[in-house]
Amino acid sequence: MKRAKPLDSKPLTARQVTSRGLGAGAPRLEAAGPFGNGPISALPNANLTSENKQVAVRIGDLFLQNPVLTASGTFDPFTYAELVDLNRLGALVLKGLTLQPVLGNKPPRIAETPAGLLNSIGFQNPGLEGLLRDILPRLKDVTVPIIANISGDTEEEYEELASRLNHLPEVAALEVNISCPNVARGGMVFGTDPEVAFSVVSRVRRVYHKTLIVKLSPNVTDIAAIARRVEAAGADAVSLINTLLGMAIDVRTRRPRLGNVTGGLSGPAIRPVAVRMVWQVARAVRIPIIGMGGITSAEDALEFLLAGARAVGVGAANLVDPRATMEIIEGLERFLEEEGIKDINELVGAVRV
């Protein structure tokens, strides 16, 4: 494969771009908003952030102006809005939601590990009523798709949440979390057995009529087998990977460094595992993949696209650099320009093996 140029080199001038045959003067769309529903072909040169470079992607019925999403639970839209233009994101994924409010796990909830961190937050969230009352009304100015991330203790809870969110115009899509490693029941229990995963996704699918994304757990022997059953159950897309179950011990106190003993590992430390799993799932299913796991730069994001992801989620990097998503979007656009690539979709699954 042609070696990528450094991502921080100067953007090409318009003339250079034209001479590379990218075509000039695609009409610049002013509004930064969702594309609405309709086939992507209805929007030639559909790219809201710059001319000539097509970075828009499609996930189910969602048209994303670029492939960069926030990973659930790593991005507070209210505090981050000071540093980030939310409407430049591909989509905003909200923190994990349950039907009832959840108090969360006892601290410490964070333990730093080499090139990453363990967390055991335990779904602290205000519940569906809290979302409706305190969160969604404050996101009125967000014009990019808002994706809710849901979890439950039982299949019935998943179903009820999905059916109630189905009627909300503010929520464009659902990410069903069957992979959280930090709660006793629910979460990962649903994501580690192909038939259990099939069952819960089928029930959600019956009541949810918009784009349905299922977030997969890496804590399995064969992630492709789970992905296939999730696809068969009617998911429009899969996102992966959630965190890897891990543990860290303070050798002086001999106590686990997390209050919950074990937690989920994220950050650059897990990226090679995530890229490998995206590649495996890409060969197993036809639905689009949202790849995530330790992405901190545009180059990292491109790895996932080449492995077969249609879009990417940025998670742990948001905790360190709140502007990480913006820098990755800009880096992707620069890469396309530098490599003379018209449409980012050309890169999806383009790894040469």
Partner 1 sequence: MDLLARIERREEWGRVASEKAQAAGDGFLWRTADKSQGGRGLPAREATTPRPVPGRDEHRDGVLYVRLTLRAGELAQQAEPGQFVMVKADDGLDPFLRRPLSFHRINQERGEVQILFQVKGRGTGLLARRLPGDALQLLGPLGRGFTLEQRMFPENGAGTQRQRVVLVGGGIGVAPLLALAEKAARGGDEVLLLLGARSRDDLLAVSDFRALGAQVHLATDDGSLGHHGLITDLLDQVLREDAADAIYACGPLPMLKKVAQLADQFGRPAQLSLEERMGCGLGACIGCVVGTKGPGGQPTYKKVCQDGPVFPAQEVILP
In the bound state with partner 1, the residue whose beta carbon lies nearer, of 183 and 344, is 183
Beta strands in the chain (DSSP E): 57-59, 62-64, 68-70, 92-93, 110-113, 116-119, 146-150, 173-177, 211-215, 237-240, 244-247, 249-250, 255-256, 262-266, 289-292, 311-314
Nearest approach, Cβ of residue 27 and partner 1 (Å): 33
Site of interaction with partner 1 (CB under 8 A): 73-76, 78-80, 82-83, 95, 103-104, 106-112, 114-117, 119, 121, 124, 267-268, 296, 316, 318-320, 322-323
In the bound state with partner 1, the residue whose beta carbon lies nearer, of 192 and 318, is 318
Amino acid sitting at position 248: A
Nearest approach, Cβ of residue 108 and partner 1 (Å): 5
Q: Residue 185 is encoded by which pair of tokens?
A: 């029941």
Kindly name the residue from 99, 118, 173, 180 that is annotated as catalytic: 180
In the bound state with partner 1, the residue whose beta carbon lies nearer, of 261 and 320, is 320
Amino acid sitting at position 224: A
Peptide bond into 290 cis (omega under 30): no
The reply to whether 180 belongs to the active site is: yes
Nearest approach, Cβ of residue 157 and partner 1 (Å): 21
Q: Residue 239 is encoded by which pair of tokens?
A: 């996102």
What residues pair up with 110 in beta bridges, in sequence order? Answer: 119
126: left (phi over 0), alpha (psi -120 to 50) or beta: alpha
In the bound state with partner 1, the residue whose beta carbon lies nearer, of 194 and 264, is 264
Kindly provide the b/e burial profile for residues 5-35, where b requires at least 16 CB atoms within 10 angstroms of the residue's own CB. eebeeeebeeeebeebebeeebeebeeeebb
Nearest approach, Cβ of residue 113 and partner 1 (Å): 8
| Positions marked catalytic | 180
